[in-house]
Structure 1
Amino acid sequence: MTNPANPMSVPASDLPQILNLLEMAITSTLIHPPTAPRTTPTPAAHALSAAKSSITTLPHSGLGAKETLSHLLTEILPGLTAQSTSPHYYGFVTGGTTPAALAADIIVTVTDQNVQVHLPHESVSTDLENAALSMLLQLFHLDTAEWRGRTLTTGATASNILGLACAREHLLREKLILAGYIPAEASVGEMGVLGACVEAGITGIQILSAAAHSSIAKAASTVGIGRRNIHDLSLPAAPWEFDLEELERRLEAGSQRGVVSIVVVGFGEVNTGMFTTSIREIRALTTKYGAWLHIDAAFGIFARVLAGAEGAMGDVGKWADGLELADSITGDGHKLLNVPYDCGFFFTRDPALLTSTFLNSAPYLSSPPTATPAAIPSPLNIGLENSRRFRALPVYATLHAYGSTGYEKLVTHLVTHARGIARFIYRHAAYELLPAGAGGEEEAVGRVFVVVLFRAREERVNKRLKERINSDGRMYVSGTMWEGREAVRCAVGNWRVCAEGWGLVEEVLEGVIKRAAEEKGEE
């Protein structure tokens, strides 16, 4: 019933309509996109229209929940990113939301847990987060007993910040102990980066990488290392690969100058989706020179799901061999796990490195003495956030619902779908599959994971290729640069591609070339 004293209460008469509107909102995320070319306004027109219909002045008296929900569905929803929940959203390497994860996320919103302190006698939330992290390790064939430092984050950027912070803590801690500090006092979290470097006799920290994701630069700035101390050692013809000779030279020179090193390896290069193949050699060098090895496997970690598979998929599973050699690992749940934004995860072996950096000591934010054993730390002490949404529940739900076999089938479908697109592009006279290689079709297609990089051969068409594809309205891609020229990324990640062929993609790409030829004839 309505409480007249509470303006936020809902009239009972409005509830049926509100529930119908909520059902529309949920159902709209599960409906496939139209299969006919766009005849309605473009995504840009929808976005502009939605912006104009939005209010910018705080109303004195609100219109109520029912009218607002109607406004959101009819005027705002069309202006959000086109195709973002469809199987043909190929813009960024993101998935959709599995039915189990969607249901769990609704529960997350309804219960509105703040998962920051381990309170086992009050809420099961931290226990479920611990269970979800354990199941993730099992999904990726990583030893749960070995990877005891683990937490959920907002995404790969936050996980990379944790990775560099742990690396910084470990490297400087080791030097501080050598300088005579007792382990309990050797903490960058207590001394600060500058103080720790001075006391340890360290002249700098360098990050050595090959085509690192842009979030590594943000992480380096955040943890006090600095963007200018990132050095790209990638091979020109294969930027996902390290120049191993230069890597050793930099490691050796750094150690002689009192510079400690963090080596960042990408499993799944952002433009091509390709993997570093020299991980064991890199591990040997980092061990030799006392460097930290961080692997940013935001979506590449999902190749591990196929470890032990047969045939071509088994080969894909081997691409992520060596992930277990890392000192820290970044992964993204809102990519191929297909759980909602925002969800990332971070793994490292020594949980003490996390608490040294992220400890939040306040009496009112402590677990009670009865919260034993202390196997589950309070999340606010091992990550960036104090206020944390219960993002573990969709992870727990989707792994509970589909298991390792379900995800093996999902990743197989994603790779197969991407390779179908790649094969079509390779055979098409008007398109070029990237990166160019000396091998034939099977080699070119066989190196595709879930990202297909390509361009139109005719520069006039290629200049606006992304816009030409997206204006059709049936699929969505993102643009990038490759070797100084525009290119398009087609990233396959949505769970519904298991029920979709790539025929629609072929139709759209054929239509782009046909329309471009017609435009040329009219000039």
Structure 2
Amino acid sequence: MNTQLQNDLENLDIILEDVKLQSLDFLQQLAGRPTSVKHNLPPEQTLNEVGLGSTATLKLFNEKFEKLMVASAGPRYWGFVTGGSTPASIAADWLTTIYDQNTQGIKGYGDLSAIIEIETIGLLLDLFNLPKDFFGGFVTGATMSNFTCLAVARQWIGKENGKDFAKNGISENIKIFSALPHSSAIKSLSMLGIGSNNCTIVKVTEGNGESIDLKDLQLKIDELKGQPFILITSAGTVNTVDFDDMQEISNLKEKYHFWWHIDGAFGAFASCSPKHKHLLNGWENADSITVDCHKWLNVPYENGVFFVKEKHRLLQAETFQNSNAPYLGNPFDNFSYLNFLPENSRRLKALPVWFSLKAYGKKGYGDIVENSI
């Protein structure tokens, strides 16, 4: 065995103890650590022939890069909508690395960690007061959650028109309506081949609001004369935290034929607040929902989740199934997450969420949301 690797294995307890102490020191300094830094470090282009070992490499990191680590998890960081990490989620994220599971199935074709993911999805549905007829899974964040949900929506549009877009490609324009979609949703439309310019913008309400104008939306829907479309709505816009009127849009679902997607990256957590949960009345009737766990759930990056109605599970499998790998079996008889979302190899992202939900419960997250507002 390589000498440096052998030494690291023999001294793993010392290495992890050093990292633990450094981690605690960083967390204790969050309140006073800079939230932005400048640097003029030229990137190193050559790799040393003989390895340094972990202890010497940690020392090199501290000398060269540690000063670049900003307090993005602290109370003074306003760069983006960025959460911190609860103590429970930090511990669980460390365990996630230690266990190093490839989270896919539930029947022993590899590890069984998907059982934890499925249970965690159930806990999140309970936290958000959503019905159990949603199927969910973990992805890297809201961008990939939007991508996953809109990919299934794309397949739904195709099937409504008698076509299989997942197999044969998009052969016609897909109608998309939204007022102020997040840039990640537009990015997803581009990656999905729908086109970033193919989103029809609906007016926002008069005044300073950013919520969708329902009258203008209905006019645009009527112009389609019954053609199916995708509606992307916001549960909390980035600039003003405006919520589209979920109850009225839910009522429109009874009248018109469309796929309703909600981007609730951080706004979904309004459901934890008795004062603000009314903003989400009706969202349970959406076809798909995006949530970021590394925002208001306060777990480490990168962590997002999608919810898609169970009735669309076949469409989701048609979209993501590894169809040229017969050894994986039928996606419904031998459930594996790799047949229902973009990634095949997957980190156990559910574990930090499970730990944090169990550690702090509904009241804990209600307090976090209320205190933030």
TM-score (norm 1): 0.66
Aligned position for 1:250: 220
CA displacement at 1:393 relative to structure 2: 0.8
Which of 209, 212, 232 is equivalent to 2:181?
A: 212
Shift in CA distance, 284/34, structure 1 to aligned 2, threshold 3 Å? closer
Matched, 1:31 2:19: no
CA displacement at 1:60 relative to structure 2: 1.3
CA distance in 1, matches of 2:236, 2:25: 31
One-letter amino acid of the structure 2 residue matched with residue 396 of structure 1 = W
One-letter amino acid of the structure 1 residue matched with residue 75 of structure 2 = P
Which secondary structure does the structure 1 equivalent of 2:49 belong to?
Answer: coil
One-letter amino acid of the structure 2 residue matched with residue 166 of structure 1 = V
Shift in CA distance, 238/69, structure 1 to aligned 2, threshold 3 Å? same
CA distance in 2, matches of 1:262, 1:27: 47
Aligned position for 1:86: 74
Aligned position for 1:156: 142
Aligned position for 1:511: none
CA distance in 2, matches of 1:77, 1:89: 18
One-letter amino acid of the structure 1 residue matched with residue 314 of structure 2 = A
CA displacement at 1:260 relative to structure 2: 3.4
Matched, 1:321 2:281: yes
Matched, 1:141 2:122: no
Shift in CA distance, 268/29, structure 1 to aligned 2, threshold 3 Å? farther
Which secondary structure does the structure 1 equivalent of 2:174 belong to?
Answer: strand
| Aligned positions of 1:38-437 closer than 5 A | 43-45=36-38, 47-48=39-40, 51-52=41-42, 55-80=44-69, 82-120=70-108, 123-144=111-132, 146-147=133-134, 149-176=135-162, 187-194=164-171, 197=172, 204-235=173-204, 237-255=207-225, 260-276=228-244, 278-306=245-273, 314-349=274-309, 350=311, 351-361=313-323, 362-366=325-329, 374=333, 377-415=335-373
CA distance in 2, matches of 1:87, 1:6: 43
Maintained 8 Å contact 1:128/1:393 = yes
CA distance in 2, matches of 1:248, 1:116: 41
Shift in CA distance, 168/103, structure 1 to aligned 2, threshold 3 Å? same
Q: CA RMSD in A?
A: 2.5
CA displacement at 1:13 relative to structure 2: 7.8
CA displacement at 1:315 relative to structure 2: 2.7
Identity percentage of aligned residues: 36
Shift in CA distance, 191/411, structure 1 to aligned 2, threshold 3 Å? same
One-letter amino acid of the structure 1 residue matched with residue 147 of structure 2 = I
One-letter amino acid of the structure 1 residue matched with residue 181 of structure 2 = A
Aligned position for 1:495: none
Shift in CA distance, 319/360, structure 1 to aligned 2, threshold 3 Å? same
Which secondary structure does the structure 1 equivalent of 2:228 belong to?
Answer: strand
One-letter amino acid of the structure 1 residue matched with residue 130 of structure 2 = L
CA distance in 2, matches of 1:223, 1:229: 12
Which secondary structure does the structure 2 equivalent of 1:44 belong to?
Answer: coil
One-letter amino acid of the structure 1 residue matched with residue 317 of structure 2 = T
> Number of aligned pairs?
369
TM-score (norm 2): 0.90
CA displacement at 1:73 relative to structure 2: 2.7
CA distance in 2, matches of 1:395, 1:367: 29
CA displacement at 1:250 relative to structure 2: 1.5
Which secondary structure does the structure 1 equivalent of 2:175 belong to?
Answer: strand
One-letter amino acid of the structure 1 residue matched with residue 222 of structure 2 = E
Please state which structure has a larger fraction of its residues in strand: 1
> What does the per-residue CA deviation read over 1:160-207, in whole Å, with 9 as the maximum and x for residues that have no partner?
11221121211221231xxxxxxxxx533223221xx4xxxxxx2121
> What does the per-residue CA deviation read over 1:319-354, in whole Å, with 9 as the maximum and x for residues that have no partner?
222211211111011011111111111111122221
Shift in CA distance, 211/19, structure 1 to aligned 2, threshold 3 Å? same
Question: Which has the larger Rg?
Answer: 1
CA displacement at 1:153 relative to structure 2: 1.1
List runs of 5+ in structure 1 lacking aligned partners.
177-185, 198-203, 307-313, 416-523
One-letter amino acid of the structure 1 residue matched with residue 322 of structure 2 = N
> What does the per-residue CA deviation read over 1:44-95, in whole Å, with 9 as the maximum and x for residues that have no partner?
33x33xx34x532111112221110112233212112x21122322321121
Shift in CA distance, 12/156, structure 1 to aligned 2, threshold 3 Å? closer
> What does the per-residue CA deviation read over 1:1-29, in whole Å, with 9 as the maximum and x for residues that have no partner?
xx5x4542225785565234212332134
CA distance in 2, matches of 1:100, 1:390: 15
One-letter amino acid of the structure 2 residue matched with residue 386 of structure 1 = N
One-letter amino acid of the structure 2 residue matched with residue 404 of structure 1 = K
Maintained 8 Å contact 2:209/2:240 = no
